[in-house]
Amino acid sequence: MAKVTEVKDVKEEKESTERLPLEGIRVLELGTLLAGPFTGRMLGDFGAEIIKIEAPDKADPMRQWGQQKDGEGLWWPIQSRNKKSVTLNLRTEEGQNIFKELVKEADIIIENFRPGTMEKWNLSYDELIEINPRIIMTRTSGYGQTGPYHKRAGFGSVGEAMGGIRHITGFPDRAPSRIGISLGDTLAALFATIGTLTALNERHFSGKGQMVDTAIYESVFSVMESIVPDYLLAGYIRERMGNILPGVAPSNIYMTKEGTYIVIGANADGVFKRLCEVMGRPELFIDPRYHTHHARSDNMTELDQLIEEWTKTQETNELLEMLAEKGVPSGRIYSAKDIVEDPHYAARDMIIKTEHPVLGEFPMPGVVPKLSRTPGKVKHVGAETIGKDNEGVYGKLLNFDEVKLKELKKKQII
């Protein structure tokens, strides 16, 4: 068994003398599960104060998603890291009024409810900017805040389907497949984060907030490369192609001597030449069937067969070393086990550990991207108890005393 690489412990991390980039920015995070909370996670990684608001009678289902250990969900501590946890019943007028008081003290609101929900609660953007003209409201939904579909429920899976990625995912002789993660939600969160930071920067000049409208299907569609001009200008509809990329070769998975699959991407002319040299087949590069990008595309199947005939004669580790020495992009297809044992992940602080109150030492992905002077950091896991920070947030931010807090709790407002 390979030696498990030591992962970085947050407690041992040298404290940065620099401010985190988003310190001083306060975010109210509404919504549940993925797209909205993932946006909050990314802002929190870089120092924003994230106040996650859950209904007192209905916690975020993410608390129980994923694998479990000792009754604790293993996804929640990652998704809600660096966040404060408060409860508030937004279905009541008193809860709505308390939220409006929080809005006065905030910079950003993140929500991912179905369009119309905030309006139903008397918390529309138009109402909130009257309270705080500088507020930025980031709204993520399946189809956006406008358009004929905007009121439809829209999960990430539906956004992936409508955005086009499900149509081209899988093998041509099988039904469309899904990718093994919630890609639609994650892409929406990435675009929502970009939009939020863009609006935040613009506010420096105008002094005004604005609404950021992110749709899951549009976020997926935005990464779909040239499928629209391919269709409208060339009459071509990209279909499922399995492990290959249409028109790009060689770029596939190839079996090694032990039956392990590796990825080789050698589609650029210079890289393909180096691959041929590693294979001991330099003549393949000058063969008119493979000499140009278009020629390799036209003869993709035959070329992939030639390459795999060779990789099947090679031990995996030695093969990858040879390819790396020649500058041919290649790598194993990693499982979680491979990831935690890889020294490069460790060197880049991509698996960190922090303390969980129930589970003890808790490993999770590091912060992305890396900033040279003011890198982000994970200060703590997500609150294991719903409303853990009620007293701290409501007491300090809104000056609610103990009597007020007890009254709100009794009335199930918090």
Give the contacts of 147 (CB within 8 A, at least 6 positions apart).
Answer: none
Catalytic residue among 185, 213, 304, 389: 185
Give the contacts of 180 (CB within 8 A, at least 6 positions apart).
Answer: none
**Alpha-carbon span 146 to 182, nearest angstrom:** 24
> How does DSSP classify residue 194?
H
**Alpha-carbon span 23 to 200, nearest angstrom:** 13
Asked if residue 375 has a cis previous peptide bond (ω within 30° of 0), the answer is no
Per-residue exposure over 211-220, b if at least 16 CB sit within 10 Å of its own CB, e if not: bbbbbbbbbb
**Alpha-carbon span 20 to 24, nearest angstrom:** 9
Active site residue 185: yes
**Alpha-carbon span 78 to 381, nearest angstrom:** 6
Query: From start to end of 6-48, where are the E strands?
Result: 8-9, 26-29
Look at residues 50, 111, 53, 49 and name the one whose alpha carbon lies nearest to residue 86: 53
The residues carrying an active-site annotation are 185
